[in-house]
Amino acid sequence: MALSITDGTRQTTLNILSEMVGIPVSYARIFARWVTRDNHPGGSFTATMSLYVEDNPPPDKIAPLHYEIGCTLPSTAIIAMAETDDRAILYRHVEYAIHFQAAQRVVAEDESMKVEQQQALDELADALGLESILTL
DSSP, residue by residue, 38-101: TTSSSEEEEEEEEEESSSS--TTPPPSEEEEEEEEE-HHHHHHHHHS-HHHHHHHHHHHHHHHH
Q: Confirm if 74 and 132 have CB atoms less than 8 A apart.
A: yes
pLDDT digit string, tens, across residues 67-81: 999 998 888 888 888
> For residue 33, how far is the Cα from the chain centroid?
13
**pLDDT (mean) for 14-41:** 88
Domain locations in the chain as residue ranges = 11-128
Nearest residue to 102 via CA among 3, 4, 13: 13
pLDDT digit string, tens, across residues 41-100: 668 899 999 999 999 899 899 998 999 999 988 888 888 888 888 888 999 999 999 999
User: Cα separations (Å) of 27 from 5, 6, 8, 49, 124?
Assistant: 8, 9, 11, 9, 20
